Amino acid sequence: MLRVRDLVVGYGAIQAVRGIDLDIEQGEIVALIGSNGAGKTTVARAIAGLLSYSGEILFEDVRLKPNAAERNLRLGIALVPEGRGILGTMTVQENLLMGLYTRNDKAQAKLDLAVIHQRFPILAQRGHLLASLMSGGEQQLLAIGRALLSKPKLLLLDEPSLGLSPRMTDTVFAMIEDLRRDGLTVLLVEQKARQTLQIADRAYLLETGCVITTGPAKGLIDDPVVSETFLGSRTAAVHR
Amino acid sequence: MPGAGPGVPKTRSNATPTSPISFWDAFVLIQQLVNGLTLGAVYTLIALSFSLVMGVLGVLNLAIAELFMLGGYFGFAILLARLPLPVALVAGMAGAALVAAIVERIGYQPFRGAPVVTPMLSTLGFSIILQNVATNVWGSDPLQLSDEVLSGRFNIGPASISAIQLVVLSVTVLLVASLAFLVQQTSIGRALRAVAENRDVARLLGVPAGRITLIAFMLSGSLAGAAGVLIGVHYAAITPYIGVEVGLKAIAVMVIGGTTRIWGSLIAGPLIGIVEVMTVAYVGSQIRDFVVYGLMILILLLRPQGLLGSGRGDQSQRV
Ligand SMILES: Nc1ncnc2c1ncn2[C@@H]1O[C@H](COP(=O)(O)OP(=O)(O)OP(=O)(O)O)[C@@H](O)[C@H]1O
Ligand SMILES: [Mg+2]
Sign of CA dihedral B63, B65, B71, B72: negative
- Would you say residue A138 lies in a domain? no
User: What domain range is A37 assigned to?
Assistant: 1-76+154-159+185-240
The dihedral through the CA atoms of B84, B89, B92, B93 has a sign that is negative
d(CA B214, CA B195): 12
Q: Is residue B221 part of a domain?
A: yes
Chain A, nearest residue to B208 by Cα: A70
Distance from the Cα of A70 to chain B's closest Cα (Å) equals 4
CB contact under 8 A, B191 and A50: no
Q: Indicate the pTM of the whole model.
A: 0.87
Q: Read off the pLDDT of residues A63-112 as tens digits, 9 standing for 90 and up.
A: 999 999 999 999 999 999 999 999 999 999 999 999 999 999 989 999 99
Q: How many CA atoms lie within 13 A of A82 on its CB side?
A: 15
Domain assignment of residue A10, yes or no:
yes
Residue type, B45: L
Residues with CB under 5 A from ligand 2 (ion): A 41, 82
Which domain CATH number covers A68?
3.40.50.300
Residue B181: inside a domain: yes
Establish whether residue A191 lines the binding site of ligand 1, counting it when its CB lies within 6 angstroms of any ligand atom. yes
Q: What is the pLDDT of residues A205-239, one digit of tens each?
A: 999 999 999 999 888 888 888 877 775 544 444 44
- Residue-wise pLDDT tens digits, B280-299: 988 988 898 899 999 999 98
Nearest C-alpha neighbor of A1 from the set A20, A21, A26, A22: A26
Q: Which of B203, B206, B208 sits opposite A50 (nearest CB)?
A: B203
Of B193, B204, B315, the CB nearest to A132: B315
- In angstroms, what is the span from residue A233 Cα to ligand 1's centroid? 15
Is B100 inside a domain boundary?
Answer: yes
Ligand nearest the Cα of residue A42 is 1
Torsion B105-B111-B116-B121 (CA) sign: negative
Q: Please indicate, yes or no, if residue A54 is contained in any of the structural domains.
A: yes
User: Domain tally for chain A?
Assistant: 1
ipTM of the shown complex:
0.92
Residue A9 lies in a domain: yes
Q: How many domains does chain B have?
A: 1
The proportion of chain B whose per-residue pLDDT surpasses 90, expressed as a percent, equals 62
Tell me if A210 is assigned to some domain.
yes
Query: Residue B74: which domain range?
Result: 31-142+158-243
